[in-house]
Structure 1
Amino acid sequence: MSKFSNDVSELLEYIGGKENIAAVSHCVTRMRFVLNDPKKADVKKIEGIKSVKGSFTQAGQFQVIIGNEVATFYNEFTAKSGVEAVSKDDAKKAGRQNLSLLQRVISHLGEIFSPLIPAIVVGGLILGFRNIIGDIKLLESGTKSLIEVSQFWSGVHHFLWLIGEAIFFYLPVGITWSISKKMGTTQILGIVLGITLVSPQLLNAYAVAGGAEAPVWDFGFTQIKMIGYQAQVIPAILAGFVLAKLELMLRDRVPGYISMIVVPFLALIPTVLLAHTVLGPLGWKIGSMISSVVYAGLTSTFGWLFAAIFGFSYAPLVITGLHHMTNAIDLQLMSEMGGTNLWPMIALSNIAQGSAVLAMIYLNKDDEEEKQVSIPAAISCYLGVTEPAMFGINLKYVYPFLAAMIGSGIAAIISVGSGVMANSIGVGGLPGILSIQPQYMGIFAIAMIVAIVIPFGLTIVFAKKKMTFKKAEKSS
Structure 2
Amino acid sequence: MSKYTDPAKDLLERIGGKENVATVTHCATRMRFVLNDPKKANVEEIEAMKLVKGTFTQVGQFQVIIGNEVSSFYNEFVKYADLDSSSKEEANVAAKQNMNFLQRMIAHLADIFTPLIPALVVGGLILGFRNVIGDIKMLEDGTKSLIEVSQFWAGVHSFLWLIGEAVFHFLPVGITWAITKKMGTSQILGIVLGITLVSPQLLNAYGVAGAEEIPVWDFGFAQIEMIGYQAQVIPAILAGLVLAFLERKLRDIVPNAISMIVVPFFALIPAVLIAHTVLGPIGWNIGSFVSNVVYSGLTSSFGWLFAAIFGFAYAPLVITGLHHMTNAIDLQLMSELGGTNLWPMIALSNIAQGSAVLAMIYINRKNEEEKQVSIPAAVSCYLGVTEPAIFGINLKYGFPFLAAMIGSMTAAVISVGSNVMANSIGVGGLPGILSIQPQHMGMFAVAMAAAIVVPFILTIVFAKTGVSKVTFNKKAA
Flag whether TM exceeds 0.5 (same fold): yes
User: Could you say which residue in structure 2 is the equivalent of 1:87?
Assistant: 87
The percent identity for this pair of structures is 77
Deviations 1:95-128 (A, max 9, x none): 0121122211111111211121111111111111
Q: Do 2:381 and 2:389's aligned partners in 1 also have CA atoms closer than 8 Å?
A: yes
The residue correspondences of 1:2-401 to structure 2 (distance < 5 A) are: 2-210=2-210, 212-401=212-401
Following superposition, the deviation at residue 130 of structure 1 comes to: 1.5
**For the residues of structure 2 that align with 1:367 and 1:462, how far apart are their CA atoms?**
19
**For the residues of structure 1 that align with 2:353 and 2:290, how far apart are their CA atoms?**
28
Equivalent AA in structure 2 for residue 183 of structure 1: M
**For the residues of structure 1 that align with 2:297 and 2:328, how far apart are their CA atoms?**
17
Following superposition, the deviation at residue 468 of structure 1 comes to: 10
Following superposition, the deviation at residue 436 of structure 1 comes to: 0.6
**For the residues of structure 1 that align with 2:127 and 2:66, how far apart are their CA atoms?**
37
The answer to which of 416-425 and 105-114 deviates more is 105-114
Q: How many residues align?
A: 469
User: Could you say which residue in structure 1 is the equivalent of 2:474?
Assistant: none
Equivalent AA in structure 1 for residue 197 of structure 2: L
Q: Do 2:462 and 2:468's aligned partners in 1 also have CA atoms closer than 8 Å?
A: no
**For the residues of structure 2 that align with 1:15 and 1:246, how far apart are their CA atoms?**
41
User: Could you say which residue in structure 2 is the equivalent of 1:474?
Assistant: none
Provide TM-score, normalisation by structure 1. 0.95
For 1:203, what is the secondary structure of its paired residue? coil
**For the residues of structure 1 that align with 2:79 and 2:136, how far apart are their CA atoms?**
59
**For the residues of structure 1 that align with 2:368 and 2:64, how far apart are their CA atoms?**
21
**For the residues of structure 2 that align with 1:467 and 1:418, how far apart are their CA atoms?**
32
**For the residues of structure 2 that align with 1:140 and 1:3, how far apart are their CA atoms?**
62
Q: Cα distance 1:6–1:149, how it changes in 2: closer, same or farther (>3 A)?
A: closer
**For the residues of structure 1 that align with 2:300 and 2:431, how far apart are their CA atoms?**
28
User: Could you say which residue in structure 2 is the equivalent of 1:427?
Assistant: 427
For 1:420, what is the secondary structure of its paired residue? coil
Equivalent AA in structure 1 for residue 132 of structure 2: I
The answer to which of 433-442 and 30-39 deviates more is 30-39
The answer to which of 317-326 and 74-83 deviates more is 74-83
**For the residues of structure 1 that align with 2:209 and 2:237, how far apart are their CA atoms?**
21
Equivalent AA in structure 2 for residue 27 of structure 1: C
User: Could you say which residue in structure 2 is the equivalent of 1:418?
Assistant: 418
Following superposition, the deviation at residue 50 of structure 1 comes to: 2.0
Deviations 1:372-405 (A, max 9, x none): 1111111111111111111111111111111111
**For the residues of structure 1 that align with 2:221 and 2:260, how far apart are their CA atoms?**
32
Equivalent AA in structure 1 for residue 425 of structure 2: I
Following superposition, the deviation at residue 211 of structure 1 comes to: 5.2
**For the residues of structure 2 that align with 1:254 and 1:425, how far apart are their CA atoms?**
42
Report the aligned-residue RMSD.
1.6
Q: Cα distance 1:454–1:243, how it changes in 2: closer, same or farther (>3 A)?
A: same
**For the residues of structure 2 that align with 1:65 and 1:258, how far apart are their CA atoms?**
49
Q: Cα distance 1:73–1:263, how it changes in 2: closer, same or farther (>3 A)?
A: same
For 2:208, what is the secondary structure of its paired residue? helix
**For the residues of structure 1 that align with 2:208 and 2:18, how far apart are their CA atoms?**
59
Deviations 1:73-99 (A, max 9, x none): 223333333444321210111101211
Equivalent AA in structure 2 for residue 301 of structure 1: S
Q: Do 2:397 and 2:468's aligned partners in 1 also have CA atoms closer than 8 Å?
A: no
Q: Which consecutive residues of structure 1, in runs of 5 or more, have no partner in the other structure?
A: 470-476
Q: Cα distance 1:468–1:246, how it changes in 2: closer, same or farther (>3 A)?
A: closer
For 2:384, what is the secondary structure of its paired residue? coil
Greater RCO, CA 8 A, separation 6+: 2
**For the residues of structure 2 that align with 1:16 and 1:148, how far apart are their CA atoms?**
66
Q: Which consecutive residues of structure 2, in runs of 5 or more, have no partner in the other structure?
A: 470-477
**For the residues of structure 1 that align with 2:55 and 2:218, how far apart are their CA atoms?**
59
**For the residues of structure 2 that align with 1:161 and 1:366, how far apart are their CA atoms?**
50
Deviations 1:198-220 (A, max 9, x none): 00111123433345422111112
Provide TM-score, normalisation by structure 2. 0.95
Following superposition, the deviation at residue 365 of structure 1 comes to: 1.2
**For the residues of structure 1 that align with 2:467 and 2:57, how far apart are their CA atoms?**
29
Q: Do 2:399 and 2:467's aligned partners in 1 also have CA atoms closer than 8 Å?
A: no
Deviations 1:121-151 (A, max 9, x none): 1111111112112211111211222222222
User: Could you say which residue in structure 2 is the equivalent of 1:473?
Assistant: none
The answer to which of 326-335 and 248-257 deviates more is 248-257
The answer to which of 149-158 and 293-302 deviates more is 149-158
